Amino acid sequence: MRKEKERRLTDAERRRKERFEMLKADLEREGFVAQEMTIDIVKANIMAIVVVLPFIIVLAVWYVWVNGDLGAELSLAGLFLLLVLSIVSIVVHELIHGAVWGYHVPSHFKAIEFGVIWSALSPYCTCAEPMKKWQYILGSAMPTLVLGLGLGLVSIYTGQNLVLYLSLLMTLGGGGDLCIILKLLRHKTQGEAVYCDHPYELGLVVFERPIQAR
């Protein structure tokens, strides 16, 4: 773990950090070595725009191809509704993370906690128990698949441009998750590995045990 974080941790984050350090110590005694795979939130937001831009373009072009155009401009009431739906969807985004990860770990939803990094106005979900690689990736990707791609398909085949705009915002909001997934897919492990969500940062910690250490 990094020695000191720039931001001040909340009481809940400090508690999760202490619990994580105990898990880390247990795994290290079993021969695992920890490797952090985290992304700075500010950098992640910048990277997210680049990473998800092709998906946003595809959804928008697909919508226009099926419906002829983007439809009428949203009224003031429509913009307000989009804002409200976006806030609700951000909450749902984190709940989906928690639902998928919680389903796959032994303690289920007791291992799931939610919080907000107030310095970046960024809500998050974290899981306290290790997972397999595919389980972590599935839980990371599912909110964007449902709220980004899923809503995008609904908008395309219903012609509702408000739903399209919401899906584009949710796709953009999943950019940080996609950055982590891409980083994880590029990471090659040698031997056994378990994957644990970072207790208070964007990303995860990979615990690897070399074949000869078994």
Cα-only R_g, the chain = 19
pLDDT at 88: 95
pLDDT at 90: 94
pLDDT at 5: 45
> Domain boundaries in the chain?
43-182
Please check whether residue 181 is in contact with residue 141, taking contact to mean a CB–CB distance below 8 angstroms.
yes
Neighbouring-strand partners of residue 197: 204
> Could you list the pLDDT tens digit for every one of the 214 residues in the chain?
344 445 678 888 889 999 999 999 999 999 999 999 988 777 777 878 888 999 999 999 999 999 988 888 889 999 999 999 999 999 999 999 999 999 999 999 999 998 877 766 778 899 999 999 999 999 999 999 999 999 999 999 999 999 999 999 999 989 889 989 998 998 888 788 999 999 888 889 999 988 764 4
Place of tokens 């644990």: 196
Please check whether residue 58 is in contact with residue 164, taking contact to mean a CB–CB distance below 8 angstroms.
no
Residue 145: phi and psi, rounded to 5, are -65, -40
* Residue 22, both tokens: 């105990």
Please check whether residue 163 is in contact with residue 89, taking contact to mean a CB–CB distance below 8 angstroms.
no
CA–CA distance, 208 with 37 (Å, rounded to integer): 13
Strands (E) located in 59-140: 112-117, 122-127
pLDDT at 79: 95
pLDDT at 1: 39
* Residue 28 neighbours by CB under 8 Å, 6+ apart: 34
CA–CA distance, 13 with 8 (Å, rounded to integer): 9
